[in-house]
Amino acid sequence: MIEYKKKILANGLTVVVNRDPVSKLAAVNILYRVGARNENPERTGFAHLFEHLMFRGTRRIPNFDLPVQMACGDNNAFTNNDYTDFYITLPKDNVETALWLESDRMEGLDITPEKLETEKRVVIEEFRQRYLNQPYGDQPMLLRALAYKVHPYRWATIGLTPEHIAQATLDEVQAFYRAHYRPSNAILSISADIDEEKMLDLAEKWFEPLANRPAAPDHIRQEPVQTAPRREVAERDVPATTVSQAFHMGGRTSPDFYIADLVSDLLAGGDSARLYTHLVKEQRLFSSVNAYISGDVDPGLFVFTGQLLPETTPEQAEAAFRAEIEALRTRPATDYEVEKVKNKFEANTLFGELNVMNKAMNLGFYEMLGDLPLVNREVAAYRAVTTDDIIDFSRRTFRPENCSTLIYKASK
């Protein structure tokens, strides 16, 4: 159970605070509701680019990392399709250093032509190394593009092509900053052994003077229901062929999310799970196999994927996946299987709540979802899943017409 207080400042900034009486550290987390989903299809990769630019200094603080280090702190960030998250941990007595830094870069980021060109080169090189020149690097990108046709989830956080970053102008980048990095588009969450009212007062001190800015128009198109199976074969210079199958499923706040997450653990939650036991150890069709959910805010994907052994054909791999799906659709999971994965989730949740940074991040994330109390209800949501729910979900989700199959074929 995470206790918290919430306040919305006059400029629209949402503040959520938690008193952690155990930790000697303070965690300051600021989440911006901007990810790859908010980008222009002709200029993708901007949210990830800003993850880099936000550390390049402001008009008043040219070196963001130096004050953090002087305050004995640590900081980092990440970007995904739905949001961007920046976080700092430091001794609780130095919490105002973090608030000063975050409030300053929310309004005063110094985007010069030189800084922009430097970070553009860094991002483009990352794109090439991780996605274009890495074995299997473009596989998830191809699967996204196959499964999504109109929703911005059809591109990865890194973007559709490095050319979009290479061609980005200073005016475009500054406009993106003004539209998305503003108080009413952000959630500040703090966890520390500090009185909650004191933390709210500090947040107000450092952030309420900031002016809000107009919101960017929302052009996100929802993905239509897939009505026919899709299939693509891509040949690459890789060691082994892989087969991936993606099925559309509900979004992060859908009741189906908990069932899907539990099912993915039934299938691939360790060496004793179904896929590894049946397809790797017993049938010897794959060298590795996995099942996972994308966890996106909007309706996401449930993915089966596996790397084939040399003698296995893609047809055999697909048949093996179909057999596992048929078992989910027709035969109840055992009480032991279900209880094991439920216990695993509950243990991970309770263990995570021991960490002051996890608390701050979770408060920001669930507020972003629009249901902050959910932070304390999810264990119960998993506990409520039944074997009948698993069968019903599998029948509704794992249908041929809802499937996108990618054969990532090793060239001979």
- List the pLDDT tens digit at each of the 412 positions of the chain: 899 999 999 999 999 999 999 999 999 999 999 999 999 999 999 999 999 999 999 999 999 999 999 999 999 999 999 999 999 999 999 999 999 999 999 999 999 999 999 999 999 999 999 999 999 999 999 999 999 999 999 999 999 999 999 999 999 999 999 999 999 999 999 999 999 999 999 999 999 999 999 888 877 889 999 999 999 999 999 999 999 999 999 999 999 999 999 999 999 999 999 999 999 999 999 999 999 999 999 999 999 999 999 999 999 999 999 999 999 999 999 999 999 999 999 999 888 888 999 999 999 999 999 999 999 999 999 999 999 999 999 999 999 999 999 999 998 7
Looking at the DSSP assignment, which residues form a beta bridge with residue 85? Answer: 31, 78
Tell me the C-alpha distance between 298 and 300, whole Å. Answer: 6
Q: How far is CA 83 from CA 78, 119, 145, 329, in A?
A: 9, 20, 20, 34
First-to-last CA distance in the chain?
A: 55
284: left (phi over 0), alpha (psi -120 to 50) or beta: left
Of the candidates 58, 93, 52, 50, the one whose C-alpha atom is nearest the C-alpha of residue 73 is 93
Of the candidates 248, 230, 262, the one whose C-alpha atom is nearest the C-alpha of residue 379 is 262
Tell me the C-alpha distance between 348 and 365, whole Å. Answer: 17
Give the pair of three-digit tokens for residue 144: 């996204």
Looking at the DSSP assignment, which residues form a beta bridge with residue 266? Answer: none
Give the pair of three-digit tokens for residue 363: 């408060």
Which H or E run includes 222? none
Amino acid (1-letter code) at residue 239: P
Tell me the C-alpha distance between 158 and 160, whole Å. Answer: 7
Quote the pLDDT of residue 216: 81
Phi first, then psi: what are they for 6, rounded to 5°? -130, 145
Looking at the DSSP assignment, which residues form a beta bridge with residue 305? Answer: 244, 290
Sign of the alpha-carbon torsion through 333, 334, 340, 342: positive
Tell me the C-alpha distance between 394 and 330, whole Å. Answer: 9
pTM of the model: 0.95
Of the candidates 172, 193, 281, the one whose C-alpha atom is nearest the C-alpha of residue 3 is 193
Quote the pLDDT of residue 351: 87
Of the candidates 9, 25, 375, the one whose C-alpha atom is nearest the C-alpha of residue 193 is 25
Spell out the SS3 assignment of 20-88: CCCCCEEEEEEEECCCHHHCECCECCHHHHHHHHCCCCECCCCCCHHHHHHCCCEEEEEECCCCEEEEE
Residues 279, 268 contacting (CB under 8 angstroms): no
Quote the pLDDT of residue 353: 87
Q: Which residues of 387-404 are buried (b: 16+ CB within 10 A; e: fewer)?
A: eebbbebbeebbeeebbb
Query: 376 CB contacts (<8 Å, ≥6 apart)?
Result: 1, 2
Quote the pLDDT of residue 126: 96
Residues 302, 397 contacting (CB under 8 angstroms): yes
Quote the pLDDT of residue 219: 78
Query: 120 CB contacts (<8 Å, ≥6 apart)?
Result: 49, 165, 166, 168
Quote the pLDDT of residue 163: 97
Give the pair of three-digit tokens for residue 35: 């990810």
391: left (phi over 0), alpha (psi -120 to 50) or beta: alpha
